[in-house]
Every structure is written in C-alpha cells, then in structure tokens.
Amino acid sequence: MLLSYLKIAWKVLQRRKFFTFISLFGISFTLMILLVVYALYDHTVGPHTPEKRVDRLLFVTHVGLWAPNSQSNSNPSYSFLNRYVRPLRTPEKVSIATGGGYAVAYVGNTKLKLSQKGTDGAFWQVLDFDFLAGRPYSVQEVGTDARVAVINESTARRYFGAVAGAVGRTIEADATGYRVVGVVRDVPAARTLSTADMWIPLGLAVDVNEPNYFGNCMAILLAPSAEALPAMQAEFKQVMRHVPVQDPKEFTELRVYANTLLGFTVRELMTDNDGPDDGVAWFGRVALGVALLFMLLPALNLVNLNVSRMLERSSEIGVRKAFGATAGRLVGQFLVENIFLTLLGGVLGLALAAGVLALLNGSSIIEHAQFALNGRVFAVALGAVLFFGLLSGVYPAYKMSKLPAIQALKGGTN
C-alpha cells in the first residue's frame, strides 16, 4: 500500500513541474535556514571537543554582591573558588582556570597576539582535548609553577612552522619562556570557556593568594554522571547559601550560580543575567516560537499549492470514493504524498545547508570553527520535515476527503 502511494506521489509531482519546483524551493530554502541556525547552535553548546561530556558539566563564571541600592559583579577569584567550590562532594572533579587573557610573542619581526588561559592540572581531566602531540602538564607541574605550556595547532604552525617537533621546544610569550609539553587541536572561538592559543599553569597567570571574592577565574564541575547533575547543582546552591557576604556593611546578598554551557551562553545573551533563572526555558520558548513562525509562511504557501494540485484530482477522488475508499484512507494517502514531497525538499535543504556551512568554514568568520551536519542536525532535519509535511498537508487532505463522491466525479470542489 505504501509503495503504491509513493508511486502515485511521484507521478503527481511530475504532472505539474512548475508547481513541484515552487513547492520544493520553499521547503528546501526554509529547511536550509533552520538547519544552518541549528548547526550554529549545536556548534556553540553541543557536545563537542573539548566539552564532549557537556551533559555532565557546570560552570561557575560570575560572582555578584548585591545591596538594595548597589551591585558589583565580576569573575570569581581563585581563593573564592578554591575555598567554597573545590571542596564540594558531589562533583567527580573540579577544575579552576582563568577566564582568559592575552600574551605577545614574536616570530622574527612578526607579532603574534596569543589568547592565554591559566589552568590547574584537573583542567585536562575535566575537559577532553584532542592532543596532536605530547601531553598535558601535570598537577605536580602546576603545584611547582613549572614554566610549561600546551599550545594549539595554529600556534605551533605560526611559531614553529609545524606541529611535528614543537614538543620540547621553548615558546617565548610576554618575554617569558615556556617549554611546550603538548599540542592540541584548535578549539573554536565559540567555545569561550575553553578556547585559547596557549595554556599555562594557573599560578603563573593569577595571584592564588588574592583574598577578595573578585578575580579572573572560573570553575568547571564534572558530575559523575548526567543523572547526578541536578544533585551537584543542589549541593552547590546549598553551600552558596552559607557563604558569608564580603563587606557586609555595603552589601547584603551574594549571587553566584553554577550554569550548564547552554545556561552560561543564554546568560551572556541576556541583558538582565544576574537572577537565579538562567533563562534557558525562556530561550527555548522563543526559539520554538520563531521556528514555528518561520515555517508558517512557506507552509501556508504549500497548503495553497496542495489545494490547487488536488483540484485537478477531484475525478480520481470521486472514482475512489465510489469504489469504497474511506475518508481516513484518502487522508492517509494525501499525507503520505505530501510527506514524500517534503522529504525530497528536506534532502535538498540538507545539501544546501551543507554548502552554506562549508562556505562559513572557509570564510573564517568564527576562528577555528568547523561546522558540520552531524547526527543531531540530521535528527532535527527529519523532525522538521515530518512536522512541515503534516502542517501543510492535513487541511488539503481533510478538505478533499470530505468531498462527496458525486460532486467529485463532476469535478466540483465545494
């Protein structure tokens, strides 16, 4: 039965090639836009290197001190995170790193501005970098402030000319020499919490004895499993409720949150991002609403085209009804035909999206970005195609299935 429906759908598409072209263009263009946007979203907050275990990670990136008439916000200091976050019992591991910074290196007369991040030894165990050569620096090397560094692939090529042979050599940044112990694959700039050109031991980048709450650090918490993430977040909230407010004469409340990577990204996009709500639910509703509105216009256009296409088939519908075809069977047939059409449009949309993403990869708009159509993007594409097919096919199918047999045989439609 299904194979017969598909053969009929193919014949119908070939009858009016212009209608078919308009339909496929609208579907494929709409899906291309949706898939490119979703690929960008997935690239930014999805499970990719080095945050492959993103469903187990929480990030503590900001501390706020509040009073009825004043507020002060900044990155937390190492001492704050080391005293109140590192001792948490639920996380499997806790890493502390700097938020970021820059160092200058020279290759001949060429100046290189290298983004630099100071990290502890656990940083390499919490995140999953792809090492092209060498190794990460160890906890012991961090403890002794050894002048060692891990650099990314681009820095190795720009400074040493190649990845091969970079390990063991010295890179000089801000007039300080560091022995390269490892080279990792480039991390996209969109991964703001982990990307850098050069990573060095934490004690070389910040004052670990700074007593104030404010500094230039962040903490990364790794849960034992994805199911343990809520418990880890609950323990974090419980502990933070008992942290004393620094400078109680001026401030009355401490605000510090542990966010998922998506929560951190949404907070960065929001203008009012200092409340307990990370805005993820709001972001989901807005994104879903925009996607539905974006699909609605081409869906209405496809509804009109489907109605026009079915007008030509009223005689066929009349004959089928006369031989006992039920309304449900006719609705099923029309929906299969429409979903077949949208699947063809989906394939074209995927091809167009792959082309657009390849152009974005080549343009270097986002440094080190490599967008791709992975399994999650394919799943979204399939879901969007099925939804689009149902959205644009239900009304025409229902309308024609309810047409009286005699009226249909006469070519009527009302």
What is the per-residue pLDDT across 193-239, written as a single tens digit (0 to 9) for each?
999 999 999 999 998 888 899 999 999 999 999 999 999 999 999 99
Q: Stretch 272-297: mean pLDDT, rounded?
A: 85
pLDDT-based confidence at residue 9 (cuts at 50, 70, 90): low
Are 370 and 188 within 8 A, CB to CB?
Answer: yes
pLDDT-based confidence at residue 292 (cuts at 50, 70, 90): confident
- Asked if pLDDT for residue 398 goes beyond 80, the answer is no
Q: Stretch 354-368: mean pLDDT, rounded?
A: 84
Element (H, E) at 31: helix 17-45
Strand, helix or coil for residue 350: helix
Distance in angstroms (rounded) separating the CA atoms of residues 166 and 148: 13
Domain regions of the chain by residue span: 1-47+281-410, 57-259
pLDDT-based confidence at residue 272 (cuts at 50, 70, 90): low
166-175, 205-214, 237-246, 392-401, range with the lowest pLDDT: 392-401
Among candidate residues 77, 14, 33, 59, the one with its CA nearest the CA of residue 388: 33
Backbone phi, psi, residue 70, to 5°: -155, 160
pLDDT-based confidence at residue 69 (cuts at 50, 70, 90): confident
pLDDT-based confidence at residue 355 (cuts at 50, 70, 90): very high
Q: Which two tokens stand for residue 4?
A: 């017969």
Q: Which two tokens stand for residue 408?
A: 């249909």
* pTM of the predicted protein model: 0.84
Q: Which two tokens stand for residue 101?
A: 């910074």
Strand, helix or coil for residue 369: coil
Are 259 and 67 within 8 A, CB to CB?
Answer: no
Q: Stretch 105-132: mean pLDDT, rounded?
A: 95
- β-pairing, 63-67 vs 70-76, is antiparallel
Percent of the chain clearing pLDDT 70 (strictly above): 92
Q: ∠ CA 239-240-241 to the nearest 5 degrees?
A: 90
Among candidate residues 233, 277, 236, 191, the one with its CA nearest the CA of residue 56: 233
What pLDDT was estimated at residue 323? Answer: 74
pLDDT in tens, 256-267: 999 999 999 998
Average pLDDT of the chain, as a whole number: 88
Cα four-point dihedral sign 10, 15, 18, 19? negative
What pLDDT was estimated at residue 405? Answer: 67
What pLDDT was estimated at residue 397? Answer: 77
Q: Which two tokens stand for residue 302?
A: 């496809």
What pLDDT was estimated at residue 6? Answer: 67
Among candidate residues 162, 236, 170, 157, the one with its CA nearest the CA of residue 197: 157
Mark out the alpha helices in 46-152 (DSSP H runs).
78-84, 123-126, 139-143
Distance of CA 104 to the CA centre of its chain: 31
Q: Stretch 108-127: mean pLDDT, rounded?
A: 95
Are 349 and 32 within 8 A, CB to CB?
Answer: yes
Distance in angstroms (rounded) separating the CA atoms of residues 93 and 119: 14
What pLDDT was estimated at residue 362? Answer: 83
Which one-letter amino acid corresponds to residue 52? K
In the block, residue with structure tokens 């969007």: 384
